[in-house]
Amino acid sequence: MMGISQPRPCASGIILVEFRFRDGLLAGNGLRLRAVCGQSGVSARKMEGDGATPAGVLPLLRVLYRADRVKAPRCAVPVEPISPADAWCDDPADPAYNRPVRLPFAGRNEALWRGDGIYDVCGVLGWNSAPIVPHRGSAIFLHVARPDFSPTEGCIALALPDLLTVLATGLTRIEVL
């Protein structure tokens, strides 16, 4: 056992459920699920474009989903549908860096409405969010894995049924080791 914390109440009465990602597994709340991280592995020195998943405790801030493909997932954080105009700014020179934006958008960005389905359910993880530091990394998500479980650009990805399961358990944060 990897020492996963059990659900516990926090000051507000909300139950915190922590998972840990290590060596291709996301484990917590009695589950051990196949997952994939960034193509460069895990790094304590995450930088924009390095392909690494940041090491540390990443809170789940909210969950985005495509209402035309899936029902709103059950989870412990706010849930929001996305539209074809939704994107995420990954341009370190732009004031909107590491924030959601609407298309058309002049700065470099990543569209959230995708044909491949990897963002059909997409948890926004709290990396480089308070404060946002340019070049420190952006768009770190918990999302749907590609069918071949190929590495991500720095996110954590699971099969859609597994992603829906961990969200439904009340996931509130992931410790990446």
Q: Kindly tell me if the per-residue pLDDT of 9 is higher than 60.
A: no
Distances (CA, A) of 39 to 24, 36, 51, 53, 151: 12, 9, 5, 8, 5
Q: Measured between alpha carbons, how far is 74 from 83 in angstroms, rounded to an integer? A: 19
Q: Look at residue 172 in the predicted model and tell me its pLDDT.
A: 94
The torsion region of residue 24 among left (phi > 0), alpha (psi -120 to 50) and beta comes to left
112-163 pLDDT, tens digit per residue, is: 999 999 999 999 999 999 999 999 999 999 999 999 999 999 999 999 999 9
Q: Measured between alpha carbons, how far is 35 from 160 in angstroms, rounded to an integer? A: 11
Q: Kindly tell me if the per-residue pLDDT of 104 is higher than 90.
A: yes
